Amino acid sequence: MMKRPLSAVFSLLAVATASCSAPATGDNRSPAVSDAANQPFQTEEQASFDEPWAIAFDQGTGTLFVTERKGAIRFREPGGRLGSVTGVPKVDYGGQGGLGDFIFAPGQVSSVLDRRTVYLSWVEAGSGDTRGAVVGRADMVCEAQSSCDLRDLKVIWRQQPKVSGRGHFSHRLVFSPDGRYLFIASGERQKMQPAQDPASDLGKIIRIPVDSTGNPSGPAERYTLGHRNILGLRFDPQGRLWELEHGPRGGDELNLVQPGANYGWPLVSNGSHYDGTPIPDHSPDDGFAAPAISWNPVIAPGDMIFYTGDLFPQWKGNVLIAAMLPAGIVRLGIDGTAARELGRYPTQHRIRSIAQAPDGSIWVVEDGKGLSASRLLRLTPAGGE
């Protein structure tokens, strides 16, 4: 848990902007505090997108792909040229829904971006006023300049049941390091109780076995339960899976993902309901997997990475979280199965998604409607590389 005095310092720092030249006011005794006038990184704007949700680098070429929630996939080549992807499925846009995640099948590292196997998630309308997340696999073919095309798109998973509302789809995707399993975060769609129902996909992490061609080789299984709205889903450098989810009023949490574990939502949470109704906190003997760290007040995470690059050597192995409230980047250290906060770096706007480039630079995209509110930023160490 965060200690109260640090939260007070953080909220003061959050009002400063990156361009502020005021002298540092942080508590220099604490390595956890970084004020905006003394950021460890400098930022360069690279492009802007409209309501971006996910960013992902093609590791072989350094081309960055961006999903926009209304249903577009665009890309930025390392030289700065922008392109777009055709063949994107129709999405059910609105609320928190639309186009979601975009990832590459592992092991594709050719230096020419000609053909890739990709996976994407989006929201699909059902009968009546219902909808649900789906995941598709496609061959992405890039034959023309500044253009790629999704071919043979196949839906490989549908969140069941489809329900009303437009929130908490989660639909983050990640491959296991050995490439044998695709994991899907399946949010509880703001319905709460289904997160505890083993027969519902809502509030679960889903695991799908895949063969060497990247196609499912067996049925999807519900791997864990008791989740709320997972927006970060990543493997650490040791091959362990972690998830980062939104609590209600308070109670955002980072969890180490263990097969079959129940993470407690909505029966326990280190936050309370929005109307103030208390929820029992996680406790050691309640039978639920307790978070490695939780936040109250929240950080409103959008995404996370485990940093493994050389450009920020002091951050190797740390978790970097894209945070929306307060806006910034939150840095965690992992020690065994515990996590602790090591730094907060306030930013001008909410950060939706974060990725590590092949050169070790950190790229983030802001959260907002309209191009001016959603810049793509490259972060490199302050004072030059």
CB closer to Ca ion out of 175 and 265: 265
**Binding region for Ca ion (CB under 5 A) out of 101-109, 195-203, 255-263, 298-306:** 255-263
CB closer to Ca ion out of 223 and 263: 263
295 binds Ca ion (CB under 5 A): no
CB closer to Ca ion out of 83 and 264: 264
Instruction: Write the single-letter amino acid at 23.
Output: P
With beta carbons less than 8 A apart as the criterion, state whether 157 and 223 touch.
no
CB closer to Ca ion out of 163 and 268: 268
247 binds Ca ion (CB under 5 A): no
263 binds Ca ion (CB under 5 A): yes
Binding residues with Ca ion: total (CB under 5 A): 2
Considering the complex, what minimum distance in angstroms separates the CB of residue 290 from Ca ion? 7
Angstrom distance (rounded) from CA 89 to CA 136: 9
CB closer to Ca ion out of 46 and 190: 190
> Which of 45, 84, 87, 80 shows the shortest CA–CA distance to 66?
84
187 binds Ca ion (CB under 5 A): no
Residue 186 CA: distances (Å) to CA of 52, 55, 123, 147, 373: 20, 19, 12, 31, 28
Considering the complex, what minimum distance in angstroms separates the CB of residue 245 from Ca ion? 7
271 binds Ca ion (CB under 5 A): no
Considering the complex, what minimum distance in angstroms separates the CB of residue 194 from Ca ion? 15
264 binds Ca ion (CB under 5 A): yes
Angstrom distance (rounded) from CA 253 to CA 106: 27
Angstrom distance (rounded) from CA 83 to CA 76: 6
For this structure, is 168 an active site residue?
yes
Token pair 């789809």 in the structure block, residue:
169
DSSP string, 294-322: EESS---EEEEEE---SSSGGGTT-EEEE
Considering the complex, what minimum distance in angstroms separates the CB of residue 298 from Ca ion? 14
Considering the complex, what minimum distance in angstroms separates the CB of residue 265 from Ca ion? 5
Residue 13 has φ and ψ, to the nearest 5°, of -65, -30
What tokens does 253 get?
């949490």
Considering the complex, what minimum distance in angstroms separates the CB of residue 283 from Ca ion? 11
Residue of 168, 227, 246, 282 marked catalytic: 168
- In degrees, to the nearest 5, what angle opens at C-alpha 133 toward C-alphas 319 and 147? 80
Token pair 């502020």 in the structure block, residue:
20
Token pair 């219902």 in the structure block, residue:
130
With beta carbons less than 8 A apart as the criterion, state whether 88 and 99 touch.
yes
**Binding region for Ca ion (CB under 5 A) out of 22-30, 122-130, 145-153, 263-271:** 263-271
With beta carbons less than 8 A apart as the criterion, state whether 360 and 374 touch.
no
CB closer to Ca ion out of 33 and 230: 230
Residues 210-229 that bind Ca ion (CB under 5 A): none
**Binding region for Ca ion (CB under 5 A) out of 64-72, 95-103, 131-139, 256-264:** 256-264
132 binds Ca ion (CB under 5 A): no
The footprint of Ca ion (CB under 5 A) covers 263-264
Catalytic (active-site) positions: 168
